Amino acid sequence: MPRPAAHREPFGTTPDGRAVDRWTLRSPAGVTAEVLTYGGVLHALNVPDRAGRTRSVVLALPDLEGYAGPSPYFGALVGRYANRIAGGRFTLDGREHRVPANDHGHALHGGPDGFDNRVWDAEPVGDEAAVRLTLRSPDGDMGFPGELTVTALYALDDRGTLSVTFEAVTDRPTVVNLTNHAYFNLAGAGTGPRPGAVLDHWLSVGADSYLPVTADAIPLGPAQEVAGTPFDLTAPRRLGDCLAEEDPQLKDADGFDHCWVLRPAEGPDGLRAAALLRDPASGRELQVWTTEPGIQVYTANHLDGSLGDADGNRHERHGAVCLETQHFPDAPNRPGYPSTVLRPGTVLRSRTEFRSTHLR
Active site residues: 181, 324
Find all residues with CB under 8 Å of 11, minimum gap 6, and list them: 20, 21, 22, 36, 37, 38, 64
Q: Are 208 and 278 in contact (CB under 8 A)?
A: no
Q: Count Cβ atoms within 10 A of the Cβ of residue 180 and give its class: 0-12 exposed, 13-18 middle, 19 or more buried.
A: buried
Q: Are 41 and 74 in contact (CB under 8 A)?
A: yes
Give the C-alpha separation, 294 to 77, whole Å: 17
- Helix, strand, coil tally for the chain in percent (to 5): 10, 40, 50
Q: Are 342 and 331 in contact (CB under 8 A)?
A: no
Find all residues with CB under 8 Å of 244, minimum gap 6, and list them: none
Q: What is the DSSP letter of 110?
A: T
